[in-house]
Structure 1
Amino acid sequence: MPAPAYAPPERYVARTLARAGSSFRFAFRFLPPRRRAAISAFYAFCREVDDAVDDAASTAQAESALAWWREELPRAFAGAPTHPAMQALLPHATDFGIREEQLRAIVEGCAMDIDHARYPDYASLQRYCHLVAGIVGEVAAGIFGQTHPQTTEYAHALGQALQLTNIVRDVGEDARRGRIYLPLDELERFGVATADIVDQRDTPAFAALMRFQAQRAHGWFDRALGLLPDCDRRAQQPGLMMAHLYRALLRAIEREGFPVLHRRTRLHPLHKLWVAGTVLAGGK
């Protein structure tokens, strides 16, 4: 729901970004001021919509919050935003090609968390990832600076990779919220019951299932990096930082044997700094 009226847009965005994961702060800090302001406002919008569902006390409250956002978007693009995130974002919309339908798609993706606690197969999960991460990547690529149409394909592939990594990392945490994003037909194929995940039972079958999920994410990382045109590689450095940071996280989870039912794996800040420096120095 809207932040208090006394919170100026810039202060609201700064507070939201301060709560962001350090991977995002690493990626954004290297941008020129105008692009950094735009991506920070966009992040604040995404965070607000996501929290409208995750922090809701009830399904009714989550539905009410998203209904409000469905009304806010056309109001904002008509020139009368009321939420500080939209007040901060709208001045950048024309410059960076941010469209109402893109933000509406993100809202609809977050709405899937209300009524899609399970996904029967990967095709249905892929649709969710497209809305909550692929579209986010598309908007972000435009803000970072896109000159080639194929960069949109790269952004969508990278969004899939990042979201699949999130799903691997957060299996236990999501299950405690009543959500299992792993496709049900794949659980069945590997002999893992939903009760095994809810009850945090590490089994050889669960480890095999997670290796399969990790390999799928790696495939999307490979696809994304192969799609990015050389002419946009420098402009897309923030996204490349996220790609390499998340892939390093995925590899750390693999090395640790997928402890994801019990805890969240994190990268050391010095490792993050090294990755950021490698990307800035021209590493791919």
Structure 2
Amino acid sequence: MEATVFDLTGAPAEYAMPAVRPTLEEAQAWCRHLATSHYENFHVATWFLPKRIRPYFESIYAFSRTADDLGDEVADKDTATRLLTTWEQMLDECYEAPERSVHPVFVALRKTIDETQVPKQLFADLIHAFLQDQLMTHYESMEGLLGYSKLSANPVGRLVLWVSGYHDEERALLSDKVCTALQLINFWQDVVEDWERGRRYLPIAEMQRFGVVDCLIAERRFTPEFAAMMTYLAGYAGEMLKQGGAVSGTVDRELGVTLKLFVKGGEAALGGIVAQGYDVLRARPSVSKMTKMKLLGGALAGKLAGAVFGAGTRG
């Protein structure tokens, strides 16, 4: 059966369609390279997972990273929309006629689908979030921002749980809180960068409530009003992260270590905002190397403890 011809013209060069279909081993290597070269924290976190399921995570990351870049790294919105629509069509093909898939992402992803039966909708939601980015650059309320995070962030956590063998809604809802909180924290860190890209994820309702206007962001002018707003927003995300963090205690020890590492990373990012006096306009708050080393040391200790004392809860 001949492969369907999909047009990825205009995409970043690294995501171009290959001339021939790669083998599964080649496709998985491509995904692994993408994961390890684009996002160090993801690579580090997956090291704490059982080796047999790391390829699942790498294929999921490759799918998400590529979709994100098709929407975010392509300047022309019409081109980005076309590319994302094509990416969704390729996802459909991966589920409906996988023998036709040629792109390494979908060759590797099909292996994950076959072995875990992961629902297509979780991947489709991510694409819809990136399509939404082409149309919406400002949000009126926190509810609107939470709706966006339901598409852009929450599917990632649900995918992680699913391919690890956890399919219940109770754990998924806790994961949603973690993922949404991490998304919000990222927005609070990137206020200036997002503004320069023509986007603002600070909800208008919260800005009006605290007396903050757009010109403060444009001029990078930090005021008591802006500080009060950021104090509230950071607390909001922190409480959500705390509530969702309980999910790490409901899964096997190795996955729990990875989930806890992401939660601790979010807490550290919030700590960076607080340490900067909530002035995210002066510079992007960051996590120190020493803090990162402590996080990794704690995660390593947790993994070693798992190896000695056995796995935790699963079901």
CA distance 1:85–1:92, shift in 2 (3 Å)? same
Q: 1:69-111: per-residue Cα shift (whole Å, max 9, x none)?
A: 1211110112132322122121011323322111101100111
Match of 1:135 in 2: 155
RMSD in angstroms over aligned alpha carbons? 2.1
CA distance 1:262–1:90, shift in 2 (3 Å)? farther
Q: Which amino acid aligns with 1:213?
A: L
Partner residue of 1:45 out of 47, 63, 83: 63
Q: Is it true that 1:93 corresponds to 2:93 in the alignment?
A: no
Match of 2:128 in 1: 108
Match of 1:62 in 2: 80
Match of 1:258 in 2: 278
| Residue 149 (structure 1) shift | 4.3
Match of 2:243 in 1: 223
C-alpha separation in 2, matches of 1:204 and 1:99: 46
Identity of aligned residues (%): 27
Q: Is it true that 1:151 corresponds to 2:171 in the alignment?
A: yes
Q: 1:179-222: per-residue Cα shift (whole Å, max 9, x none)?
A: 00111011111111122213322111111111111101111111
CA contact (8 A) 2:50 2:254 kept: no
After TM superposition, the structure 1 = structure 2 runs for residues 154-169 of structure 1, keeping only pairs within 5 Å, are: 154-169=174-189
Count of aligned residue pairs for this structure pair: 283
Worse-matched range after superposition: 121-130 or 195-204? 195-204
C-alpha separation in 2, matches of 1:104 and 1:262: 37
Partner residue of 2:233 out of 182, 206, 213: 213
Match of 2:142 in 1: 122
Gaps of 5+ in 2: 1-7, 9-14, 306-315
Partner residue of 2:223 out of 180, 188, 203: 203
C-alpha separation in 1, matches of 2:279 and 2:104: 38
CA contact (8 A) 2:36 2:42 kept: no
Match of 1:5 in 2: 18
Gaps of 5+ in 1: none
Q: Is it true that 1:83 corresponds to 2:103 in the alignment?
A: yes
Worse-matched range after superposition: 47-56 or 92-101? 92-101
Normalising by structure 2, we get a TM-score of 0.83
CA contact (8 A) 2:192 2:280 kept: yes
CA contact (8 A) 1:23 1:272 kept: no
Q: Which amino acid aligns with 1:5?
A: P
Normalising by structure 1, we get a TM-score of 0.92
Worse-matched range after superposition: 229-238 or 171-180? 229-238
Q: Is it true that 1:35 corresponds to 2:53 in the alignment?
A: yes
Instruction: Report which of the two structures shows the higher radius of gyration computed on alpha carbons.
Output: 2
Q: Is it true that 1:71 corresponds to 2:89 in the alignment?
A: yes
Q: Which has the higher contact order (CA 8 A, sep 6+)?
A: 1
Q: Which amino acid aligns with 2:244?
A: A
C-alpha separation in 2, matches of 1:156 and 1:243: 12
C-alpha separation in 1, matches of 2:252 and 2:263: 15
| Residue 269 (structure 1) shift | 3.5
C-alpha separation in 1, matches of 2:69 and 2:227: 30
